[in-house]
Structure 1
């Protein structure tokens, strides 16, 4: 039962943070395409680790994460207004590299496939 509740809380926090990032952050440096891929809220609701995917090069990713870390208090305040919890969790932003890793694995598999096709001919 508790596992189901934590999953619902994670999804609600994810929706609220994603909406705030897309609609309410007015920083002129914030131009990258950002998506929230996953949110893990601790059982005591004190901390929320937010995994972010940023499309762009490494410099753009680093700059975007820095902007989000500086905006964490604003995002936390918006989260507290939109999601009613006992405590409003402190937000910790992490860069999610799983998409780049998946693309790298896919490229390796394609390379192996091409090598097998060339060897069979």
Structure 2
């Protein structure tokens, strides 16, 4: 079993090499239909398996085509990794679509929408109420200390 430091170094190396392959190495036209970027690589502790998380920008059809192209290019990616990265065994490569950026953008837009929908007077009233509650709690605690 490899150390966690070695696993993270191999993970970063695979991430860099696969990113370069996406730019110039993979000739499949389906991979070019959507903008693809490698967001993360998760390498198993024994360095036998590597999950490559990719973020694909585009329509749902473009995402599906791009994922199909990446899955068909898995053998090429693994053989290229074997030549570029000197390991005893080249890890099995699995491409996984990462939608975390999309979810994060959606959450931020919902937060912005909520903050715009909320009236400034409501927020000020809530702050005043919280301050009053805190002050009452503080005064109540002082009265208990005097007893």
The answer for the alignment partner of 2:13 in structure 1 is: 12
Shift of 1:29: 3.0
Over residues 90-118 of structure 1, what are the superposed CA-to-partner deviations in whole Å (9 max), with x where a residue is unaligned? 10010000001001100110111111137
Counterpart of 2:29 in 1: which secondary structure? coil
Shift of 1:12: 0.3
- From the two aligned structures, give the one with the greater helix fraction: 2
Distance in 2 (CA, whole Å) between partners of 1:92 and 1:29 is: 17
Counterpart of 2:113 in 1: which secondary structure? helix
Residue 103 in 1 paired to residue 102 in 2? Answer: no
Distance in 2 (CA, whole Å) between partners of 1:45 and 1:81 is: 16
1:53 to 55, 60, 74: 55
Contact 2:54 2:98 (C-alpha < 8 Å) held by counterparts = yes
Segments of 5+ residues of structure 2 without an aligned counterpart are 123-147
Distance in 2 (CA, whole Å) between partners of 1:3 and 1:47 is: 15
TM-score normalised by structure 2 residue count = 0.77
The answer for the alignment partner of 1:82 in structure 2 is: 84
Q: 1:86 to 1:110 in 2, by over 3 A?
A: same
TM-score normalised by structure 1 residue count = 0.92
Q: Whose relative contact order is higher, 1 or 2, with alpha carbons under 8 Å and at least 6 apart?
A: 1
What do you get for the CA RMSD once the two structures are aligned?
1.7
Larger radius of gyration between Structure 1 and Structure 2: 2
